[in-house]
Structure 1
Amino acid sequence: MLQANQLLQISRIYVEPAAAALPRGQEILARWPDADVVEVASHWRIPELSGDEANVRRWVRIKTEALIVGVKKSLTAKPNGRSADFIAPSTANGCAMACAYCYVPRHKGYSNPITVFANIDQITGYLERHVARQGMKLEPNQCDEHAWVYDIGENSDCSVDALVSDNVQDLVDLYRDLPTAKLSFATKYVNRDLLAWDPRERTRIRFSLMPEKLARTVDVRTTPVAERIAAINDFVEAGYEVHVNFSPVIITPGWQEDWRELFGQLDAALSPAARKQLAAEVIFLTHNQQLHEVNLGWHPQAEEILWRPDLQETKQSQNGFTNVRYVAYDKRGYLDEFLRLAGEQLPYCRIRYAF
């Protein structure tokens, strides 16, 4: 496992003046007192980090050494209906890990180190008011039977964000006292510091899983899959609701046998308590032409797996990006086969949604 001091070796912090003036901003700056501090007008467009093609060669180094501290200006909880009822305003975006299929770099030029937002009090205040406006959840849905679910990690990995600031713990503390809501985030990093928190089953962690030999190529700088599986029982015992994401499902030669092996590993590892509360999401790979071209500059081996014109078709996204997905007719067959395999080996695991 890549340790925290290897994952983050912060030597330069780019900070908005408004963020530096806030208590959380000051706490973050104090964590790395020897780092160079560079004042920036906006956390979005930093010339050394964004839009410079030469940065592709320094992709991982930038993620390791750079940190951005800003203020989140737009506070909106977006309706979702898949992983959660709502996507909460981000407390961070970007990541120190480097999964080759990650969509966040599409919006941040040629590098996406962690940007953490210092106005956490505004964000938690907004969310508390938003939850209150929803009232009781009267009709169960696939997100949750009783609680409104808020995803707090759409644009980052909260387990890694917790290495940078107390934002994630503040949100866990907030939601454990909100009887009508719970928070949720997906992760590929096992941060055992979270085991000392007190979530009281109001936080749902979704460990993302894929076959280990595939993860070694595309899940760059993440916790090994076997360690993610081994952590599930501990997080359940610590008071978290723990689901899994089978994501992304990538079609390779022999993919069925690889997933059958993973399902067996998961089944063998789970405690009775973990099995009882387990549910899963299944998400097939969506890739992107812009990210494909970036990846060719730093990790071309991954693109041999991710970029498969013989299996994929093009679809224009609402944001104008050119995305590729598995051909719809074939994907239906892949999905049916995947669900059959999961049903055979993990019959107690409810599939919340699959696409």
Structure 2
Amino acid sequence: MPSDPSMVDITRIYYEPAAAALPRGREVLERWPDATLVEVPSHWQIPELHGDEANVRRWVRIKREALVLGVKKSLAARPNGRSADFIAPSTANGCAMACAYCYVPRRKGYSNPVTVFANIEQITGYLDRHIRRQGAKQEPNQCDPAAWVYDLGENSDCSVDALLSENVRDLVELFRRHPTAKASFATKYVNRQLLDWDPQGRTRVRFSLMPAHLAKLTDIRTTPVPERIAAIDDFVAAGYEVHVNFSPVIVTDTWLQDWAELLDQLDAALSPAAKEQLAAEVIFLTHNAQLHEVNEQWHPRAEEVLWRPDLQETKRSQNGALNVRYRFRDKQRHLEQFLELVHRKLPYCEVRYAF
């Protein structure tokens, strides 16, 4: 399992003893034999990693060099109905990337390196039983016309997780055995190791895209957008279903022109086979006042486009958090403009979900 030292170069592993005793935990520890090992009572409570906003200037180093090894305690496939039918139990939490708008750090400390869950056999066993209980999908919906879709990476990026353990590969192989279900995950990192996994159409990879200059400003430590686009054909040829996430859509003075150029680039890059199976999700930016304050300490330039009180209003999200989003009436108009642009530039691309 080759790694990418620019993304992860693990020198310190925090581990729960129960995780280190499992086969997957031992594999992870053996992968970095020279790493300093630190026993912890819980992957959720590591003061030097989590909850300390003063870590802000050390975030990138922590994300690249620290790894947490834990056990996933609660296993549930939560109904979703937007991007996927179900949110699968996580096999990882946290991310080695540092996107300025990411919501995950609000829940688990702002530096938030990756936690790998070692009880993968328990997780895949649960999922296998859950899929079998669903039976065949009787009616098409926006998630998929025929298969139950399970989102794998709610709180992490599976393409990066695959650099750290075999958990993601185990999930791809699980779904390959199920003709009634599909795995799905969004990613901003091109990991070509995945091209050898033979998913046989049962895993959907959603490459997140935005205008390149905005991605350079806000998508910190991710694969450049042109490289994400260039990878789509290869992933389709390798047996993946490949969709795109136009996310987040950030409103600027030139946003429609910028997106028009990106959609033209996408159209020019895709093969007929990729176009035939393409679909998209559209998600406009959601931000958060607390994250804004933290970002001002380390990346204030990003906040010039993310924090726009002149365009935004406060709204309580489904999880109860108070966030800021573009004003309702303006957002509805922007969404209509964006969808019209997508339909005009990519008439073959179904928009499955827009929010």
TM range (shorter): over 0.9
Deviations 1:166-195 (A, max 9, x none): 000000000001111010000000000000
TM-score, normalised via structure 2 length: 0.98
Pair 1:15-2:36 in alignment:
no
Deviations 1:79-113 (A, max 9, x none): 00111000000000110011101100001123110
Correspondence for 1:78: 78
234-243 or 297-306, larger mean C-alpha shift: 297-306
Correspondence for 1:142: 142
Question: SS of the residue aligned with 1:323?
Answer: strand
Correspondence for 1:298: 298
Moved over 4 A (4+): none
CA distance in 2, matches of 1:63, 1:333: 38
CA distance in 1, matches of 2:110, 2:157: 19
Question: SS of the residue aligned with 1:6?
Answer: coil
Note the 1:229-240 alignment, pairs <5 A: 229-240=229-240
Question: SS of the residue aligned with 2:298?
Answer: coil
Note the 1:142-181 alignment, pairs <5 A: 142-181=142-181
Note the 1:18-37 alignment, pairs <5 A: 18-37=18-37
Note the 1:180-259 alignment, pairs <5 A: 180-259=180-259
Question: SS of the residue aligned with 2:264?
Answer: helix
* Deviation at residue 318 of structure 1 after TM alignment: 4.7
CA distance in 2, matches of 1:42, 1:163: 23
Question: SS of the residue aligned with 1:243?
Answer: strand
* Deviation at residue 320 of structure 1 after TM alignment: 4.4
Deviations 1:5-56 (A, max 9, x none): 1111111100000000000000001111111000000000101011222211
CA distance in 2, matches of 1:281, 1:311: 22
Correspondence for 1:269: 269
Q: Which amino acid aligns with 1:57?
A: R
What root-mean-square deviation, in Å, do the aligned CA atoms of Structure 1 and Structure 2 show?
A: 0.9
CA distance in 2, matches of 1:176, 1:110: 35
Question: SS of the residue aligned with 1:4?
Answer: coil
TM-score, normalised via structure 1 length: 0.98
* Preserved contact between residue 59 and residue 298 of structure 1 (Cα < 8 Å): no
* Preserved contact between residue 315 and residue 323 of structure 1 (Cα < 8 Å): yes
CA distance in 2, matches of 1:51, 1:238: 40
Q: Percent identity?
A: 75
Correspondence for 1:313: 313
Q: Which amino acid aligns with 1:45?
A: Q
Correspondence for 2:104: 104
CA distance in 2, matches of 1:318, 1:201: 32
Correspondence for 2:94: 94
CA distance in 2, matches of 1:53, 1:224: 27
Deviations 1:265-288 (A, max 9, x none): 000000000000000000000001
* Preserved contact between residue 152 and residue 185 of structure 1 (Cα < 8 Å): yes
Number of residue equivalences: 353
Structure 1, unaligned stretches of length 5 or more?
A: none
Pair 1:349-2:323 in alignment:
no
Pair 1:55-2:49 in alignment:
no
CA distance in 2, matches of 1:53, 1:240: 39
Q: Which amino acid aligns with 1:130?
A: H
